Amino acid sequence: MKKRIYKLIDRIDNLERVRKLYVFLLIFSIVSLLVIVNYCYISTFKDVKVLYAQYTKDRIIDMKKDFLEDSVNNMINNIQQIKVEKIEVNRNRINRAAKVIGEYYESKKGDFLEKTIDYFETGTIKGTFDIFILDRFTDKILYQNNIKYMENTRNIYDYIDDLKKESIVYNEDNYGKYYIFYGVTEDYIKYATMESIKKRIHSDSFENDAYIWINEVVNYEGGDNYAIRLIHPNLKDTEGMYLSTKMQDIEGNYPYLTELNGIKENGEIHFTYFFKKKTCDEVAEKLTYAKLYKEYNWIIAMGVYFDEIQPYIDEISKDGDKAISKMITLVGVLSLGLILIGILVVLILEHWYYQNSNKKLREELNIDELTKAFNRRAATKKLQETFYSFERYNSIFAIIIFDIDDFKKINDSYGHDVGDRVLRNLVEIINKSTRKTDFLYRWGGEEFILICEGLKEESLNSFTDKILKDVEDFQYESQGEKYHITISIGASYFNKDDEDFLSVVKRADMALYNSKREGKNRATLNI
């Protein structure tokens, strides 16, 4: 047994020497790796600056694209809102006109027609409504303000039916011999919406020569006169002129063709071209976003000039250079810190690995080879720990000593091999009968110590009775003979007068002696 222990100790010493070599190699590897990484990082600094500058430019352009999209979408929302408002205003006008004309008719005066025509001749209504007053019996037009209709060219009622289809809101009614129709067409709502939006766009102000403009597509096939420049705050005097997809900028680009193709394909497009600035005659490259408002075939667009973006890019790049320089310094400091941390981590991990690698060897030093219970060496260490815990924290520990009754007779009758088997089986029974927090140790020969943390005195009897019963109930068989074994138990607890753990062991041992003297197969407590 001693030779085996010495071999285990030699193996642990050899591991200690190898351990030191591994620690040195690991630390050297960490330092070398960090030096190489730092060198590579610093050597690629210029590439990082270029990449950062390009990334910065791309990000700013993306932000400008988002700004352009948001501005155009907001304008489209405004157009839709104004359109709805115009429709609602004119619906109210139609309803008001119906009420007024009805009141004229109900007054039974002979001037109904004159008063009605006077009402329609008021400025707001005359320029808004399409109006027809007919003699129902002769179909003669008594009043109309729609110059598109030419008398005697087609049936007036067919014309009015077509007008109804074109009208957003309208009203028609018979007043005696008079048929009166008045309505507001989609074209008028479109025109009124355009006039409101034009005022808004002409008065809007954006930074860096940015502005919104609107072109109306009249031919999606492109070519000459494919669109009308509807609203353009940079070129107000050209509003209403026709545009062509054949038009080029100073670099030979075809911006209108590019825009039309993008609109036809996706309904929107980001593109660049060269155009005159709003506040001067300089021509510069422009980033533009255009989107189709399908209801009116309007292309709503907005752009910003690249030379207005560049100062932002330069400023951020300058800040980026400073930041990267600081990063290099920081990386150097961090590298030193990482080296120190790495060394510390290596030492901690190595220590953890060393402890785990030696765990099995150390367990072998603390395990009884025959029974696989903990041995006396482990018991002594555990008793020292429990006594310390009792002194410092007043923890409760039941110290139980037991041995096999008449074990010599078993060895003499059946041989030492059977005796060894009984010892191993006893350990299995005790482990099954006790708690996971209880520790079993072979104290020597057939004598064992059981250390039970937290087992109070009032629970001791039921605990030991269960152990006694489980041991006695197990049946052995050897050489055709069946037999049972019993154990005697002595137990004690630490008290304040104890100088060390040996005091409680002596009391438990005395209790075991009393159990033997009282007839065996019993448990005795000695406080």
Residues that are catalytic: 446
291: amino acid identity, one letter: K
Distance CA 449, CA 472 (A): 18
Strands 523-525 and 487-493: parallel
Got the DSSP string for 376-401?
Answer: HHHHHHHHHHHHHHHHHH---EEEEE
Which residue, among 454, 457, 456, 430, has the nearest Cα to 441 in the 3D structure? Answer: 430
Query: If DSSP codes are grouped into helix, strand and coil, which group holds residue 158?
Result: helix
CA atoms within 13 A on the CB side of 311: 4
Distance CA 295, CA 369 (A): 94
Q: Which region holds residue 108: left if phi is over 0, alpha if psi is between -120 and 50, else beta?
A: left
- Exposed/middle/buried for residue 289 (C-beta within 10 Å: 0-12, 13-18, 19+): buried
Query: If DSSP codes are grouped into helix, strand and coil, which group holds residue 305?
Result: strand
Which residue, among 225, 248, 199, has the nearest Cα to 82 in the 3D structure? Answer: 199
Helix, strand, coil in percent for the chain, rounding step 5: 55, 20, 25
Which residue, among 87, 119, 73, 76, has the nearest Cα to 100 in the 3D structure? Answer: 119
Got the DSSP string for 167-189?
Answer: EEEEEEEEETTEEEEEEEEHHHH
